[in-house]
């Protein structure tokens, strides 16, 4: 069964550094999402992406964040200058046409 | 704006017994979907069950069923014959086509 994959599973970075989180959505899916979950809190929407552009973003998704689909398979989330409060689990999700989003296993980002 | 509320931060159940997790929501949309996701300690988001708002019949998936009360904006999850593997954080979520909005989660403990 096809699944969403994410790399790395765990990323440790120093404050101020740039990080790129990578996702490979399910191949025939058209809509892509990033969510984050700070430890012990609920999952929060960051951004949605469709037809090679951002379709919606939350107030969390400020100028420090960007997304890209550099080729036909990868979907990336870049954080330009990480802060301590960016430490969280980041989930990628994708969907075809229906309402059902399929989640990847997540990348745990630790900013020190 | 959409909101999802889970008022039970923690629940516990004896193995083989039944437990019900509560969720209420608010949306101004007429067309939406509701989901329950399970998050074990690995933090993977696993879809448990979904409900289309236009369907009156409650969804069921093996031991999992929902009680969808559209007028009351309530969407509870019933787990029958609870198993040790059901122990996890459970999130209720809502979408009307784009972003998923999650509740705060309910930590379910299953006692042997």
Q: What is the tens place of the pLDDT at every residue in A3-31? A: 999 999 999 999 999 999 999 999 989 99
- pLDDT mean over A47-63: 94
Residue A1 has pLDDT above 90, yes or no: no
Q: How confident is the model at residue A44 (pLDDT cuts 50, 70, 90)?
A: very high
Q: How much of chain B, in percent, has pLDDT values that exceed 90?
A: 89
Q: What is the pLDDT of residue A100?
A: 86
Give the residue among B51, B49, B75 at the shortest CA–CA distance from B62: B49
Q: Please check whether residue A21 is in contact with residue A107, taking contact to mean a CB–CB distance below 8 angstroms.
A: yes
Q: What is the pLDDT of residue A14?
A: 97
pLDDT tens-digit profile of B31-57? 999 999 999 988 889 999 999 999 989
Q: What is the pLDDT of residue B34?
A: 96
Give the CA dihedral A9, A13, A18, A20, nearest 10 degrees.
0
Least confident interval from A3-17, A51-65, A91-105, B5-19: A91-105
Residue B66 has pLDDT above 90, yes or no: yes
Q: How confident is the model at residue A38 (pLDDT cuts 50, 70, 90)?
A: very high
Contact between B98 and A56 using a beta-carbon 8 Å cutoff: yes
Q: How confident is the model at residue B98 (pLDDT cuts 50, 70, 90)?
A: confident
Contact between A37 and B43 using a beta-carbon 8 Å cutoff: yes
Q: Enumerate chain A positions whose Cβ falls within 8 A of a Cβ in B.
A: 31, 33, 35, 37, 41-45, 48, 55-56, 58, 89, 91, 93, 99-103, 105-106, 108
Distance CA A46, CA B66 (A): 28
Average pLDDT of chain A is 94
Higher pLDDT among residues B111 and B1, named by residue:
B111
Distance CA B40, CA B108 (A): 10
Q: CB-based contacts of A28: which residues, under 8 Å, 6+ apart?
A: A96
Contact between B45 and A91 using a beta-carbon 8 Å cutoff: yes
């Amino acid at each position: 069964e096809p699944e969403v994959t994410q790399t790395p599973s765990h990323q440790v970075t120093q404050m101020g550094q740039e990080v790129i989180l990578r996702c490979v959505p399910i191949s025939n899916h058209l809509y892509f999402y990033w969510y984050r979950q700070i430890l012990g809190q609920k999952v929060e929407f960051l951004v949605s992406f469709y037809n090679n552009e951002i379709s919606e973003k939350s107030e969390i998704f400020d100028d420090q964040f960007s997304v890209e689909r550099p080729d036909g398979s990868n979907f990336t989330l870049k954080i330009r200058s990480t802060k301590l409060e960016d430490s969280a689990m980041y989930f990628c999700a994708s969907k075809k046409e229906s309402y059902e989003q399929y989640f990847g296993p997540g990348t745990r980002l630790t900013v020190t | 704006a959409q909101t999802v509320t889970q008022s039970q931060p923690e629940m516990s159940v004896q193995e083989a017994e039944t437990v019900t997790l509560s969720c209420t929501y608010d949306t101004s949309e007429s067309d939406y979907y509701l989901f329950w996701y399970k998050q074990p300690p690995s933090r993977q988001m696993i879809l448990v069950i979904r409900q289309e708002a236009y369907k009156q019949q409650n969804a069921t998936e093996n031991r999992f069923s929902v009680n969808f009360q559209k007028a009351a904006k309530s969407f509870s999850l019933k787990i029958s014959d609870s198993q040790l593997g059901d122990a996890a954080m459970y999130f209720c979520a809502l979408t009307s086509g784009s972003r998923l909005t999650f509740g705060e989660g309910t930590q379910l403990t299953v006692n042997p």
